[in-house]
Structures are given as structure tokens and as C-alpha cells.
Amino acid sequence: MASAPSSELIPTPNPSNLTFTVATVAVALTVFLPAAQGKTPTGKPAKAKLKTDTKNKQFSYDFDNTKDNYISFLNQILAAHGLATKYGPVTSSSRFPIKILTPPARAKADAVDVERHSEYKDLIDNAREKKVNKLTVLVHINAIKDASKKRKAGGSGSESDSGSDGQEIDEGSGEDEKGYTAMDRELGRLRGLLEKKYQNPNDSGYTYITNDGERLPLTPIMLAQWCRALYDNTATLSDPPNCQAFDMANRGRLLPGRSPTSNSSSSSTNSPSDSLGHVASIFSTLTTLLGAKNLPSPILRPPTPSPASPAQNTPTKLTRFLHHAQDNLGIPNALECEGQLSHCRYGPDIIPYVSDTAIAKCGFTEGDVIRLKRGAEAWWASPEAKRKRARIASPSRDITHAIRFEKRFVEGGSASYFGSGMEMGYNGRSDEYEWWYYCDKVKELVKVPAGQVPVLAAEYSDAREGEDDF
């Protein structure tokens, strides 16, 4: 038996209190450790993975069925593993769940879940009746981190909490075999609940209906923001987050509980165009009565109406956004990374929610990853994203060179160019890369047919260096 740690965390036995049960506690803590980094088939370092490991500690503890004894026991677990300073102290509002095995049970499946004092009390009373002298405790490092985060954030952890639904998930959790973290899986689950609740009956869209009956179409970004708010416990399935995307004041409507900004006597069914027409009619009457030359001509701008349906991502939106990123966000190589973004199907609608590592693999530096993700969210919510445009042409490129070509390298990566068409020719470096072009008919990139090569604009004359034309 290991020597008992400091008496600050272990209650001193009280022989006069017969409810105490002194027992040896073996604590098995599951943690994450870096796995050996392998290599991809091309010889590049593979993505780092984490593996689980178990740390075992043992100590003696004087058990009682009181709440203070329960909290002290959780603090003792932290102290035994040297985690008290980093994740302690545990309080009644920041408990972490544990599993306890009492003899003769040995299998983990037989362990009893202890998440609140009532469960702890029942287990201790049962152990005292059976005169148990050794307990095995199973605990996960993520559960300890979650409780610590809740304590630092001032979150509630009252005894009325129901199960683990209210617990947070550590964003640094290890990935599963598909590369998804615990946070990714939880956000996916929450997204499914929202889509099920707000699915339109007649199409593939989603609509939130306020308490006063107003309809608010939900865009992919709005759904993602709502999921994150649910994950952070700042919203519920019935009440959206209080953020700019859900602020209906600009649409002439209000979310429940917000102060109205318009006259309460106005009809909620009037459209912006009806209101503007009414103002114009009044001004016309005044002009007739007083004389047009005595009144300045007003500039009437209708308020921005809410979209009839959520903005849909299209192949051209990525090109337009990358032009915006290169011209306005200070990302000089944005367009050069278009091929890799398109290959991964990363559009401006989901770029803010793709991991930094995945974006960086498309050819961006760490700083540009942050600029790109922030800029994508703002651009997608702007009128520019909803504007229908046939094509974005670079100011320095002749309009006759309006076909987009993409050079896809065999070992990964790509680069975009523009040209006027194709001609008979042979790509003598086909073992290094292939040529693709954007087909307006099918609205996607298509491989250049064998025996043909792109006719590129003069500014890209070196793009086909080393190829042997007929």
C-alpha cells in the first residue's frame, strides 16, 4: 500500500464516527500521449496522432457519505496524480464524473457511474455494509479538464444537472480513426438536431420561426454559429444565439425579448417596398402643395430586405471570394491556392469552420489562414456573396482569355491559370502534373482531353515550359 498523501486533502479518521469506512483507493487515469509520427506514401511526415495511456496511483482514504467528503475525494484524486495545481480545486459546481469498481467486480463494464453526491452516498453506504477495504476508480483526463473549464468560466454544476448532456468537450481531445475530435463529433450531433427541428417541409432549406410568427431563413453559417452557441451553453434548440447573424432589426423584425425600434402601430406585414412607396406618396403630395422647387429632392434608399432563401455556394463564389481575399485581405497567393481549396470542396460558406491545419495544407501561411477564415465569414454575410455574377475577370487579363485552367500536380497541390481555349498538343510532363479546365456546361473542373493542351494567356507563358507541342 502506498503512503498516504498530505493530510490537507485526506480527512483524519474519527473513531467515534462509525459511518467512516477506511479503504485503499486505486485510481486509473486515462490520458492522451503523442503517437510515433509516421510518413505518407510520398515520404512526407504524416499527421500527428494521439494514443491513450493509463496512469495508475494508489492512496488510502477515509470515506463518509457526506457531500464534503465527496468533494474532498475528487480533490484527492487530482492530488494523487499531481493535477491539483493545474485543474483544482474541485468545488460542488465543478465536479468531474468517475467510475468506481467495488469487489468482487473487476470488469470495467461493471463499474458504477458517480456524477453527483447522491450516487456517491449510495455507493459508500453499500461499501460500508459489505465491509469493502479497496476501491478502484476510473477517470478520464478530459472529464477533469471539462470540470476545470466550467469552474474557471463560472458555469453551473448543481446537483440538478442531468447526466453528461451539459458537459463541455475538450477541444484538445484526441482524434478518432477518421480524424474527428470529440468537439467535431459533438458539433455534428448538435447540427443534426437543429436540421431536424428547422427543416423546411417542401425543400432542403431551414427556417427559424420567431414567437411572433416571423420567418428567418437559416444559412449554413447561421446554423454553424448556432451549433457553436449550443456547444458553449449560450443558446438552446429553441432560442438562437444573440449575435449579428440573428439580429433581425435590419430586416424589420425582432427576435423575442428585444426592444422594438419601429413604431408599434406599424403593421408587421408591410414589406420594405410598401413602406418606401408610402413615403414617396407623402412626399409627392407635399411637392404638389408647396411647389417642387421649394423642397430638396430626397434620396430614398430601401432597407436591405432579408433574402428569400439562404445563399447557396457555387463554384464561382470561391473564385470571387479569393479575388476579394487577394485584393482586400492582404493574401497575395489566394488565387494560386484555388485548385486545392476546390479539390477539398472548401467554399467560403464553410472555410471559417475548417481546421487551421487543413486550410494551411492548401498553401496558406499561418497568418493568412486567420485572415482567410475571418474574411470568409464576413464576405459570406455581405451582399457580394448573394450577387449573381457570370464570371469574375482579372483587370489585367484580356476578356478573350476567360477560360480557367488548373495544373494539378501528381504529388498534391495545384495552380490556376487563364487562357482562350485548347489546341492539339502533347503534355510531355504528364508524369508530374495534369491539365484541367472549368466547363461551363457541367459547372465544374474537367480533365483536358488527351492530345490537347491549353492555350494560355501571354502572362502565363512559362506555365507549360518543358512540354512538347505538335
What is the topology classification, in CATH, of domain 315-386? DNA polymerase; domain 1 (1.10.150)
DSSP H helical ranges for 95-140 = 117-129
Taking CA atoms, 298 is separated from 199, 258, 270, 279, 280, in Å, by 43, 31, 22, 10, 9
For 440-451, how does the pLDDT look when each residue is reduced to its tens digit (9 = 90+)? Answer: 767 788 888 877
Contact 29, 55 (CB under 8 A): yes
Cell of 56: 495508475
Q: What is the pLDDT of residue 391?
A: 43
**Alpha-carbon span 68 to 470, nearest angstrom:** 86
CA 465 to chain centre: 42
Domain ranges of the chain: 21-153, 180-256+279-306, 315-386, 403-464
pTM value > 0.85: no
3-state secondary structure of 215: strand
Q: Please give the pLDDT value at position 284.
A: 55
What does the alpha-carbon distance between residue 55 and residue 58 come to, in Å, rounded to a whole number? 10
Closest residue by Cα to residue 196 from 172, 170, 227: 227
pLDDT value of position 46: 66
> For residue 256, what pLDDT is reported?
42
What pLDDT is stored for residue 65 in this prediction?
86
C-alpha distances in Å from residue 7, one per residue of 89, 135, 351: 15, 20, 53
Pairwise CA distance, residues 185 & 176, whole Å? 10
Helical (H) or strand (E) element with 22: strand 21-34
Q: How many Å apart are CA 15 and CA 137, to the nearest integer?
A: 25
The stretches in the chain having pLDDT less than 70 are 1-21, 35-41, 46-49, 154-179, 248-311, 315, 388-401, 441, 466, 468-470
